[in-house]
Structure 1
């Protein structure tokens, strides 16, 4: 379900202070000012929030790479024909993804990612080719398991890695 600016979350703990604070205190303001949209996955019986994600518009651009050569290699790898060689490509940013501690181990995070993928590929909610995420280092294996790859060969952020999922991989 999409969270609207009037919706209030009373309880959520995914084990990460920033992710908890966002869904408990800031998600509705981000929605109100159209900075991101958040979706919630709740238990049908209890109404308990099991997981949430926040999405925003993004792009994969030459500036995401150390140089133009690396970006050109990326474009070639994705199979873009010469007439579609742009300086940036539309993407959806997975800004946040949190799974409540009580719900971990039940593949809910993967289910949320599959839902997002279907929204933008099968339902074609917006013209976009990629999902991007600044993955916490401890979450990198989870994203890799779900088909995400590193955007570039080097990342200078000590806390996150820029990753992407090519929605065209769903055609295979």
Structure 2
């Protein structure tokens, strides 16, 4: 997986994901809003099998309905009292797409595992959580990969805010 500047051909079956990697990812990268990584087929130069885009994020008290719910979250995640902050560093998985003709090869799970290891093994900035606004039809995929719902009262009709605690790998 390498940073990618331009992808010329990609289709995962979702118009928004396709449009982002084909037309907007390079602009986001140029303006330092996110970085996109492409998984390419070594036997077919230029063929993108999957991609993801990452940006800085945080898990904050405002992600929860109230301070009590946030404190319950911190306690459940084992955050020591002396480390109780109003927000915790995270990386947002902005986009993740697998080419239609590459589905079923576990590339999405492989990309998630690579991202997780990037922030545990070579964590250069301090990062406790991965977050994602998962499309409703992708929620089960993220759950299978260890993501949990940020809060039970998230009623967005298109996405659900989910997180992965990187301490789950460390401990």
TM range (shorter): over 0.9
What is the distance in 1 between the residues matched to 2:39 and 2:149? 27
TM-score for both structures, normalised by structure 1: 0.96
The residue that corresponds to 2:125 in the other structure is 126
Q: Which runs of 5+ in 1 are unaligned?
A: none
Describe how 1:60-139 pairs up with structure 2 within 5 A. Answer: 60-139=59-138
- Contact 2:154–2:161 (8 Å) recurs in 1: yes
What is the distance in 2 between the residues matched to 1:89 and 1:8? 32
Matched, 1:158 2:147: no
Describe how 1:4-19 pairs up with structure 2 within 5 A. Answer: 7-19=5-17
Provide the alpha-carbon RMSD of the alignment. Answer: 0.7
- Contact 2:120–2:170 (8 Å) recurs in 1: no
SS at match of 1:162: strand
Deviation readout 1:121-143 (Å, 9 max, x if unpaired): 11113201000000000000000
The residue that corresponds to 2:19 in the other structure is 21
TM-score for both structures, normalised by structure 2: 0.97
What is the distance in 1 between the residues matched to 2:141 and 2:34? 23
* Alpha-carbon offset, residue 171 of structure 1: 2.0
* Alpha-carbon offset, residue 156 of structure 1: 2.2
The residue that corresponds to 1:49 in the other structure is 48
What is the distance in 2 between the residues matched to 1:156 and 1:63? 15
What is the distance in 2 between the residues matched to 1:125 and 1:51? 24
What is the distance in 2 between the residues matched to 1:128 and 1:80? 13
SS at match of 1:46: coil
Structure 1 moving runs of 4+ over 2 Å: none
Q: Which runs of 5+ in 2 are unaligned?
A: none
What is the distance in 1 between the residues matched to 2:14 and 2:156? 18
The residue that corresponds to 2:37 in the other structure is 39
